[in-house]
């Protein structure tokens, strides 16, 4: 990640927004060549994510900044544990502090939440996946955080695969059937085709049309289990994905049904920020 231009572009935009190179308070009060030490502490149990982001930001201000890492991305730490200590120019530490903590709080929140779902779904062989419900402009970092928490990334953008949802079927001008829509798409592209259904009747229609993945939207565990049984007995067997309002309370029941994938918007659209702080040593 450290040298990935996509990630660097996101972080550089944040630095520009913060006017980080014009930190008037720090630049007035702190001599240019003063050296200090500081440690970042996690104040609650969490799966850590964002260490490369922290390193990139601090090195933007002080290329000679030295780091001592006490963990790596993906490690679970208990509350009040040291995450990383650094030594370098005081101005660099003070100017980069809030931006680093913001990124780490947000990304670690996603990793921690994702890991909760992954653990709840264990030992069932099911992938816990994210969605496109991400803050615009931050998707690359957000999806990295999902992977760090043990999850799997769904499509990154609209170009990556075909996903036919209910509104697409409504907008489709020809005879509005699942079979016709899938056939029409097959003629135009070789990309993966996903079709969303919300009933067993629609599921059977979709299965006959041979998509690559059927997304079972807001179905009960009983409906999901029935869909899995029908799929296993079909010559047109495809991947099954459950989605829609799945929570930590319901994830295990969904995983037990035998679906291949579970996509969860809550991993990325409403994560709880993890509490980090910096202990500064002047």
d(C-alpha 168, C-alpha 215), whole Å: 14
For the residues of 147-209, what is the DSSP string, one character each? HHTT-B---SSTTSSEEE-HHHHHH--S---HHHHHHHHHHH--S-EEEEE-SHHHHHHHHHT
Which residue among 98, 176, 229, 281 is the active-site one? 98
Tokens of 188: 């135009």
Which residue among 37, 82, 165, 256 is the active-site one? 165
Residue 133 known to be catalytic = yes
**Tally of CA atoms within 13 A in the half-sphere of 100 that contains its CB:** 29
Which residue among 60, 217, 241, 261 is the active-site one? 217
For the beta carbon of residue 43, count every other beta carbon within 10 angstroms: 12
Residue 165 known to be catalytic = yes
Three-point CA angle 238, 150, 229, nearest 5°: 25
Three-point CA angle 187, 156, 58, nearest 5°: 160
Which residue among 62, 73, 196, 241 is the active-site one? 196
Which residue among 133, 186, 204, 225 is the active-site one? 133
Positions marked catalytic: 98, 133, 165, 196, 217
């Amino acid at each position: 990640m450290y040298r990935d231009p996509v990630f660097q572009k996101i972080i550089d935009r944040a630095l520009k927004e913060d006017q980080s190179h014009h930190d008037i308070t720090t630049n007035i009060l702190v001599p240019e060549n003063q050296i200090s030490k500081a440690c970042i502490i996690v104040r609650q149990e969490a799966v850590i994510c964002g260490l490369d982001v922290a390193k990139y930001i601090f090195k933007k201000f002080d290329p000679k900044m030295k780091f001592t890492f006490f963990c790596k991305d993906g490690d679970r730490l208990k509350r009040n544990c040291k995450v990383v200590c650094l030594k370098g120019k005081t101005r660099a530490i003070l100017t980069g502090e809030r931006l680093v903590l913001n990124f780490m709080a947000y990304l670690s929140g996603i990793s921690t939440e994702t890991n909760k779902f992954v653990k709840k779904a264990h030992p069932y062989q099911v992938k816990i996946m994210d969605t496109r419900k991400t803050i615009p402009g931050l998707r690359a970092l957000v999806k990295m955080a999902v992977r760090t928490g043990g999850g799997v990334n769904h499509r990154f953008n609209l170009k990556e695969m075909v996903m036919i949802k209910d509104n697409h079927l409504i907008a489709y001008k020809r005879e509005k059937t699942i079979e016709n829509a899938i056939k029409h798409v097959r003629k135009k592209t070789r990309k993966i085709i996903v079709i969303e259904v919300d009933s067993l009747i629609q599921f059977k229609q979709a299965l006959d049309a041979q998509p690559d993945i059927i997304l079972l939207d807001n179905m009960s565990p009983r409906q999901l289990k029935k869909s899995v049984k029908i799929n296993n007995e079909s010559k047109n067997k495809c991947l099954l994905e459950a989605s829609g309002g799945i929570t930590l309370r319901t994830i295990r029941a969904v995983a037990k049904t035998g679906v291949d994938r579970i996509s969860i918007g809550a991993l990325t659209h409403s994560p709880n920020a993890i509490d980090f702080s910096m202990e500064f040593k002047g």
